[in-house]
Structure 1
Amino acid sequence: MLSLEKKSITAEQLRAGRALVRWSAKTLADNAGVGVATVRRCEAETGPVSATQANKNAMRAALELAGVVFIEENGGGSGVRLANPLRAND
């Protein structure tokens, strides 16, 4: 499900989500409509991404459209998983 709410995203989730769908930083940047430098800078951080809300939303939405599900902090830590592993290779 595409998340339209303003939700946080961590650098760890961003890196892991991109790895799950086997996207390069450039592929994520292209799909999100942000610069590749933005993706790389965000992924170099630890914890919550410090990009603009628009850029965070765009990167998260691009990964969600590719099949990444963001798991919010629930006492066990935030994370990511694939909604449908077959979509990762599309």
Structure 2
Amino acid sequence: MSEHLEHAGHPHQPGGDPSNAECADFLERIVRLIDNELEAGDCAVVRAHIDSCSPCLERYDLQRTVKSVVARSCSEVAPADLRARVRVQIQEIQLRLR
């Protein structure tokens, strides 16, 4: 995606304020784009905005990275011995509370 940063004629200056009215509308749509929750026409509009707006491109890249890290972390399974120790501790706590 770094090729977008070299795109000439940005309406926003690099490092500009992505919270202006136009960009504020796109922030939620960027997340929906990443989650594949937009229709094709809306995808094209959001992608065109991202191509011309460095702050929104940065938000897009950040959101993609965060979602990727979270997805990778959620798919990991704790080792069996750790799960067993946690179960024992939970049972001990439950017995103390009774």
Normalization by structure 2: what TM-score? 0.28
Whose radius of gyration is greater, 1 or 2? 2
Q: Normalized per residue, which structure has more helix? A: 2
